[in-house]
Copies of this chain bind each other. A is one copy, B any other.
Amino acid sequence: MIWIQREIRLPARTRGFHLVTREVLDALPDLEQVAVGMLHLLIRHTSASLALNENASPEVRRDFETWFDRAVPDGAPYWTHTLEGDDDMPAHVKAALLGPSLTLPISRGRLALGTWQGIYLCEHRDDGGPRSMIATGWGERSA
């Protein structure tokens, strides 16, 4: 068995959906030593989230933002937790809908994703600042 566990610091990003696959993999060069195993990513915040979706078109990521902003509106009259800003409570709900983590299979040293699947950092706040992620990998070491 091999275990890898590391914090990955993501710089501040604008509100929206951002492709971070390359950035995450670059921080985890020792995944190459895993013949068969799993990678788990947890974002350690409650107003940002992780998703796995289309890795090619920026339009897709923009449409994600449009849909989520309509479905969970800033400043809606029914929010009672408003002290931290109009975008705070919607950010919590969006984060719960998308989820804080991804669990992904590793095969022969690489993530076994589909051709079009990429890792999204979903930033739900206007000014969320840098984000911290814990990456944990485990599996059988390559011969």
Contacts and interface: CB of A to CB of B under 8 A. Distances in A.
- Copies of this chain, complex-wide, total 3
Given A62-B80, A95-B53, A99-B99, A105 B40 contact: yes
A1 B81 CA distance: 43
A79 B46 CA distance: 27
A86 interface: no
B81 A100 contact: no
Q: Determine the main DSSP class of A at the interface with B.
A: mixed
B98 A97 contact: yes
Contacts of A103: 40, 101, 103
Interface residues of A, number: 59
A54 B92 contact: yes
A92 B89 CA distance: 23
Nearest to A17: B96
A53 B136 contact: no
Of A78, A81, A102, A113, chain B has the most CB atoms within 10 Å of the CB of: A81
Contacts of A63: 78-81, 89, 92-93
Nearest to A98: B96
Given A5-B105, A45-B114, A112-B42, A100 B52 contact: yes
